[in-house]
């Protein structure tokens, strides 16, 4: 079958394209911006890409169009598909019907930490010899690809609550029907499609309703929102983490931590990822892996070798003693957690936070009041505010002279480089490419 994917360079849709190719289909695709690393990853698998959404692409005559949720009514190619009554399906629905059916699906849902926890869970199963398939919203360093199809009955997926497609406004994860699910946390986000937290909780409730009785929910016991979700109905075995009576962790020697279940030690391990939020991610992954038959001792051993995920506190380089990191954090809670994790690693060395609030929620200004509080662990903050509908400088005023905003990227780079000194840690945070600012900083530091 020939499949043409609309929005193919997004991490999720690119992953679907890789899975379709691995399943033996001929795959082509298009996107508004065809650029690395996804474009090179796709082209290496023999997937031809088209720049833009021209209506003439219907003449490729694919058997099926797979439509990503970035595609809206008014898109020329989508309108041509609808006008000609050509066959199409959303990405999540295609995935559910063609890849996940018959699999033991392990899903990871939540506002924060989905990508890291999904990668951790896939790594544990891999190290246990289960060779899982997976689809991750990033690139796990140990695998080198964001998606993989294997003969294994196990498939690990990042279960996103964002909407499915122009024609299906349910959350993506409703399609996946997992047997094992991690509910990491739940906060208000995606203000462009959800009116409030209660609306997101309803989608999580719908997810819970799809789980079988012999499945498992691993849920964060510290989240009142998740307790509300479970209280609306639960027909599946439930294990809490992050509380004494459930799965938890405690500091051990050095950077190691001890895993506990109902207060009883289960063993210790070391995790290279800094911060308690990542330890919590790891604890949840161990609990989910145990449901798939992985002994806790095997899972703990696997955690110690986990190499991380691209764009999650990834070191881009060090020049003149200044280290530049790339991180995907964009929600205030994630920004605060990422800064706290880096602070725990670097101690008293200065952290220069470079932020682009470009998610749909941040663009709307919904979280602007929370932004200053999320940046308190940074010594200096440089915020790129071009194209926002709210005043970044005013929002960051509580930080005083510790924060400055810019509408020009080159001016921001010049300011960071001018302030940076030996030993500084420059943490770049954005859920987009940020105009290649990471390389611009390294090059400018080198000059």
pLDDT (tens, 9 = 90+) of the chain, 447 residues, equals 999 999 999 889 999 999 999 999 999 999 998 766 678 888 888 899 999 999 999 999 999 999 999 999 999 999 999 999 999 999 999 999 999 999 999 999 998 889 999 999 999 999 999 999 999 988 888 898 889 999 999 999 999 998 999 999 999 999 999 999 999 989 877 767 788 889 999 999 999 999 999 999 999 999 999 999 999 999 999 999 999 999 999 986 667 899 999 999 999 999 988 788 889 999 999 999 999 999 999 999 999 999 888 777 789 999 999 999 998 887 888 898 889 889 988 899 999 999 998 777 677 777 788 899 999 999 999 999 887 888 888 889 999 999 999 999 999 999 999 999 999 999 999 987 788 898 999 998 988
Q: Which domain holds residue 341?
A: 314-446
Shared-domain flag, residues 144 and 257? yes
* CATH number reported for the structural domain that contains residue 430 in this entry: 3.90.190.20
**DSSP per position, 291-333:** HTT--HHHHHHHHTT---BTTSSEEEEEETTEEEEEE---SHH
* CATH number reported for the structural domain that contains residue 184 in this entry: 3.40.1190.10
Task: State how far the Cα of 432 lies from the Cα of 447, in Å rounded to an integer.
Answer: 26
Shared-domain flag, residues 202 and 256? yes
Angle of helix 437-446 relative to helix 409-419, nearest 10 degrees, comes to 50
Shared-domain flag, residues 324 and 248? no
Shared-domain flag, residues 328 and 415? yes
Residue 46 lies in a domain: yes
Token pair, residue 397, equals 């005023």
Q: Phi and psi dihedrals of 423, rounded to 5?
A: 95, -10
Number of domains in the chain: 3
Look at residues 323, 294, 341 and name the one whose alpha carbon lies nearest to residue 113: 341
Angle of helix 296-303 relative to helix 276-291, nearest 10 degrees, comes to 140
Shared-domain flag, residues 260 and 123? yes
């Amino acid at each position: 079958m020939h499949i043409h994917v609309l929005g193919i360079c997004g991490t999720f849709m690119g992953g679907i394209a890789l899975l379709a190719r691995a399943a033996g289909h001929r795959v082509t695709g298009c996107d508004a911006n065809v650029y690395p690393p996804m474009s090179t990853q796709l082209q290496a698998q023999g997937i031809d890409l088209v720049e833009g959404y021209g209506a003439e692409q219907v003449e490729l005559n694919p058997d099926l169009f797979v439509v990503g949720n970035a595609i809206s009514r008014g898109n020329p190619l989508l309108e041509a598909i609808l006008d000609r009554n050509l066959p199409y399906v959303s990405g999540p629905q295609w995935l559910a019907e063609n890849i996940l059916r018959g699999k033991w699906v392990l899903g990871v849902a939540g506002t924060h930490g989905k990508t890291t926890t999904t990668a951790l869970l896939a790594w544990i199963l891999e190290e246990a010899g289960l060779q899982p398939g997976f689809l991750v919203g990033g690139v796990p360093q140990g695998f080198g690809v964001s998606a993989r199809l294997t003969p294994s009955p196990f498939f690990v997926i990042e279960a996103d609550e964002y909407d499915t497609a122009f024609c299906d406004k349910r959350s993506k994860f409703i399609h996946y029907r997992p047997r094992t699910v991690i509910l990491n946390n739940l906060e208000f986000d995606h203000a462009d499609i959800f009116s409030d937290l209660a609306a997101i909780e309803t989608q999580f409730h719908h997810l819970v309703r799809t789980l079988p009785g012999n499945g498992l929910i691993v849920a964060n016991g510290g989240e009142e929102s998740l307790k509300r979700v479970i209280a609306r109905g639960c027909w599946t075995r439930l294990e809490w983490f992050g509380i004494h009576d459930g799965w938890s962790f405690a500091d051990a020697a050095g950077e190691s931590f001890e895993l506990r279940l109902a207060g009883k030690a289960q063993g210790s391990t070391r995790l290279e990822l800094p911060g308690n939020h990542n330890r919590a991610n790891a604890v949840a992954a161990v609990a989910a892996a145990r449901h798939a038959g992985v002994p806790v001792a095997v899972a703990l051993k696997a955690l110690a070798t986990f190499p991380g995920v691209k764009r999650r506190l990834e070191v881009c380089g060090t020049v003149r003693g200044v280290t530049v990191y790339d991180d995907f954090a964009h929600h205030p809670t994630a920004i605060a957690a990422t800064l706290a994790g880096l602070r725990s690693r670097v101690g008293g060395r200065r952290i220069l936070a470079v932020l682009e609030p470009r998610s749909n929620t941040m663009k709307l200004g919904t979280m602007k009041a929370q932004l200053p509080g999320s940046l308190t662990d940074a010594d200096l903050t440089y915020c790129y505010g071009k194209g926002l509908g709210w005043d970044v400088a005013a929002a960051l005023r509580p930080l005083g002279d510790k924060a400055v905003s810019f509408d020009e990227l080159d001016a921001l780079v010049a300011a960071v480089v001018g302030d940076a000194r030996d030993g500084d840690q420059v943490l770049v945070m954005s859920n987009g490419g940020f105009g290649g600012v990471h390389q611009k900083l390294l090059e400018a530091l080198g000059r």
